[in-house]
Chain A
Amino acid sequence: MNPQQMERILERINELKALFIFGQRVIPFLEELFGFVQNIVPLMQEMNKSLRESSTKMPRAASQLNDVTRATELATNEILDILDDILFKLGEVQSILNQSVDFYRKINRLERKLDRLLELNPENIATRGWIQKAKAIQDEKKTLLKAFRKTFTRSLKQLNDVKENASNIMFSLQVQDITSQQIAAVNHLIESVRERIEQLLNRLETPVATAPENQPVSVQPLPFDPQASYSPNDHRQQTADAIFSGSATLENPTFLQEEIDQLFRGNISPDAPSTPSSHPNQQKRSSGNE
């Protein structure tokens, strides 16, 4: 072995030594990295779960907000239809009243005509010509009075319809109660997602410095039905009525309003028994009398 070869071997040994020194320094870091990865995996799994939950909740929230839009749209359209009808009927009432004023003027004119006739001929009151004139005026007056009465009857009917329409508008405003429950359901979903994110952030030990205006606002949760919907059709009421009437078959998840009414007809007495099985309507149903 010549000195050059020896020198090369020494160089290699030095390189190996440096490699070992590097390894000694790197191993604790790698161990730390390994530990970090071990710790972060469950956290990542939890994040994954949370994100999955959030991603399923968000479309639900979006769908519920769409329900709010649909409900308000439906109710607004209902109200607009009713208002159209009210305006049309009020227009008719207005023209009827104008017609009535015209009738009143004509009747008044006839009255004056009759008065003049009496004044002009007080002596020959019983003459044939006078009687004929008076009769003609009286007949015309009667016809006008009849038409006058008709206009009043029509006005009253239209006003009654307007009153009914106004009442329908009042009932359409139930949409506010229904949409408030739909929005409460969305709030609940958003709040549950926020809580999950906050839990994750706390686990990551990175407390987020939030400005006072960004601090979560404490909102008193409102009671709600997540399936609240504004659908003014008879079917939903019929379902309830069917149960209360005892005529609904329990295998069938939907009922007719009539059926609900029938069931509740049996329950209508405040002294009704406390269990459905002992309810008079239930007995009727089992005995096949319904």
Chain B
Amino acid sequence: MKCRNTSIESIMKCLIVEDSIIVRRIVGSVLRKLGATHILEAGDGKTAWNYLEQESVDLVITDWNMPEMNGLDLVRTIRKHKQTAHIPVIMITIRDRQDDVLKAYEYQVNSYIVKPFTLKSLREKIEQVIKATGEK
């Protein structure tokens, strides 16, 4: 099995998709603490998809409830296109109902975080996803 570096440094470019500026700042701060150097931010799914069409991104962290294009539609779009289908996606949302989580799972979300999240849970999920991506 090919083993790559599984640290955050291996994730060069992270895209945070979130309509709340405060949550974007929190997630960005954690990513920077973990060593991410290139962080892109989008306030909705449509803007995020515009970024993804133009730039290659290593990790997407997205909210669910957003204007224009919601997080779930963004994940569907990401998975539908060959050039983006491989990008790991972490969903951070307030939706904690079973059917919502199952839907995210069906849409190929890689990890799911319920708001309000902690530094520990966010860090763990990011590291898990990076590790899994590195081991692939």
Contacts and interface: CB of A to CB of B under 8 A. Distances in A.
Interface of A: 164, 167-168, 170-178, 180-181, 220, 222-225, 227-232, 236-237, 239-241, 243-244, 248, 250, 253-255, 257, 260-261, 263-265, 267-272, 274-276, 279
Interface residues of B, number: 47
Nearest to A168: B119
5 contacts: A236-B96, A239-B96, A264-B109, A267-B108, A274-B79
Give the top 8 A-B pairs by smallest Cβ distance, nearest first: A177-B20, A268-B132, A236-B96, A223-B65, A174-B116, A243-B101, A240-B112, A240-B101
Contacts of B70: 223
Given A168-B119, A268-B132, A240 B19 contact: no
A218 B119 CA distance: 38
Contacts of A279: 105
Interface stretch (B9-17, B34-42, B47-55, B82-90): B82-90
Given A224-B65, A232-B118, A260 B26 contact: no
Contacts of A269: 110, 132-133, 136
A244 B111 contact: yes
Contacts of B20: 176-177, 180
A255 to B, nearest CB: 7
A254 B93 CA distance: 17
B95 interface: yes
B109 A254 contact: no
Given A171-B116, A223-B65, A270 B110 contact: yes
A239 B110 contact: no
B119 A171 contact: yes
A274 B108 contact: yes
A192 to B, nearest CB: 18
Contacts, number: 138
A228 B64 CA distance: 12
B7 interface: no
B74 interface: no
Contact of B129 (A229, A248, A268, A271): A268
Interface in B83-136: 85-89, 93-98, 101-102, 105-106, 108-119, 121, 125, 128-129, 132-133, 136
Interface of B: 19-20, 22-23, 25-26, 29, 64-67, 70, 79, 85-89, 93-98, 101-102, 105-106, 108-119, 121, 125, 128-129, 132-133, 136
Interface centre among B70, B87, B106 (most CB of A within 10 A): B106
Nearest to B71: A223
Given A170-B29, A177-B20, A253-B98, A240 B113 contact: yes
A186 to B, nearest CB: 15
A176 B109 CA distance: 25
Contacts of B66: 223
Contacts of A263: 105
B115 A178 contact: yes
Nearest to A230: B116
Contact of B22 (A173, A229, A240): A173
B26 A170 contact: yes
B101 A176 contact: no
B136 A237 contact: no
Contact of A228 (B22, B94, B119): B94
B97 A227 contact: yes
B73 to A, nearest CB: 11
Nearest to B113: A237
A255 B115 CA distance: 16
A271 B65 contact: no
Nearest to A235: B96
A209 to B, nearest CB: 34
B116 A270 contact: no
Contact of B67 (A176, A223, A268, A270): A223
